Structure 1
Amino acid sequence: MCALIDNGSFQTRAGWACGGDGLSAPLLQFKSVAARSRGAARSETQIGNDIANVEPLRWLLKSQFDRNVVVNFEIQELMFDYVFVHLGIGSEGSVDHPVVLTEAPLNPLHCRQMMSELLFECYRVPQLSYGVDSLYSFHRNNTQRGVGPSTRAWSSPPGTTAPTSCPSSTAVTPPPTCSLLQLKYPGHLGAVTLSRMEELLHEHSYTALDYHEELEKWRSAEFYEREVHRLQLPYAAKLLGGALSAEERQEKRAQQLRRLQEINARRREERLLQDQERLDTLLSVQ
């Protein structure tokens, strides 16, 4: 049976190719990140769903992607290990299943060669096929197809809206969205991170088929209250009863004053000892 791997820069999805509608969702879904401390063993690496909370480990996170192109093949190998283990492939020394792998549009030839070398040399897969996830979706959900078996260009059928250039949301959209939210909510500057923006865009947003129609809908207060998503950013709750009384504040100041007096007294004693030692040295020289 063929193994399908949607190798996305935000999320990796994997499963088996089943005829018909045998599976409504991939068997495995996880974020395409790995966390490993410097100098830690390979077995100590946390990947995808093994990371309970991404934010505290954000400075340790590593990805195989630069924008939407795979460049770090050491991390990519860890991702493949995670995928094949959780798919239940237990063959020794090789993966005895054909693999269908998604890649970015116009993927550089060098990156594809490195990926092929990794899968053929390290995992010894018998067959490998590459494709673009959006074209797979177009092929599956459209009865009229504008892609011929021997063509190198994608032509859309008549009546289909196809923008000439569509930037990738994973590569382009999160940074400006993150900057805008940081400007709008300066009090949450540290909590509005790029990883949260990626999750926000992928989990809580959609593409409007008719922008002006959607804009009119969102101007309605009822529609807004029904469809809006409210997210709670992490915060540190203040301890109850933290306010000190006047007597407690006075006692605290007195303790600080006594502590400073003790420190100054020790310093004076140390200076006196140093002066005495210097005087004894000068007298011995005479």
Structure 2
Amino acid sequence: MPGFVTRFAPSPTGRLHKGHAWSALLGHRLAQNAGGQWLLRIEDIDPTRCKPDFEAGILEDLAWLGLDWPRPVRRQSDHLADYAAVVDTLRQRGLLYRCFRTRKALLDAIGDAPHGRAEAACPGPHPADEEAVMLEQGLPFAWRLSLDRARAELGDDAWNDLSFVEEGSGPNGETGRIPARPETAGDVILARKDAGTAYHLAVTHDDALQGVTHVIRGEDLFEATHIQVLIQALMNWPRPVYHHHRLLTGPDGRRYAKRDRSVTLAELRAGGMTAEALRAELGF
């Protein structure tokens, strides 16, 4: 296994845009400079938004950029049993609880929540009698990680020592050794009713499984690192070095994003742009 392993891990919920290209090229360059390995992983655990056509488009766009990667590509939807096993382990250790509250219910309570987070608005486990009734009714639920139980298992000293190394920078310039503060995220969902897993669990599991030593991603995911460090500690998984990079913005100053229907690489290609021209524009 190379001493430097990173990954580009898009979700096939749309076509790639310039921001994706910049992130992929940066990770690939850093891996090459270190004599390491650049992996592609398809994070497709959302069954309603992820589409095979978008996955095929991702592969097409990356190949057009001149990138290559080891095969086979790990597709998360093919490995749901792996994540279910982790959920079962955490559940048996008493670290998870069932949450029947809908996202709308939590968002309705967001005005009273610190940090404006839906997770922070979650008041914790349901009373036992209330939970029993909802289970009998067959209502859907998610599994949430109890921060109180996690802290009790780790102990205060280990909890206070949680940290990660940041080689890039967070949105406020955070760099170096960063104290992890998972409490800012609240009791996050680790298994959703529709997929049997959720982002934080799947991504930390796969980083450990694939021997990822360096996580290179946008600064918009900097805050996610705090809860992921906790999961790594609870599961005794290795902790990668993190490199959060700036987000590429368009002429209007807004960052490129799928939800804003940013111009895609496919559209640029159809308009006559070459991969060489785009790489040069992006500084590669």
- TM-score normalised according to structure 1 size: 0.29
Q: Which TM-score applies when normalising by structure 2?
A: 0.29
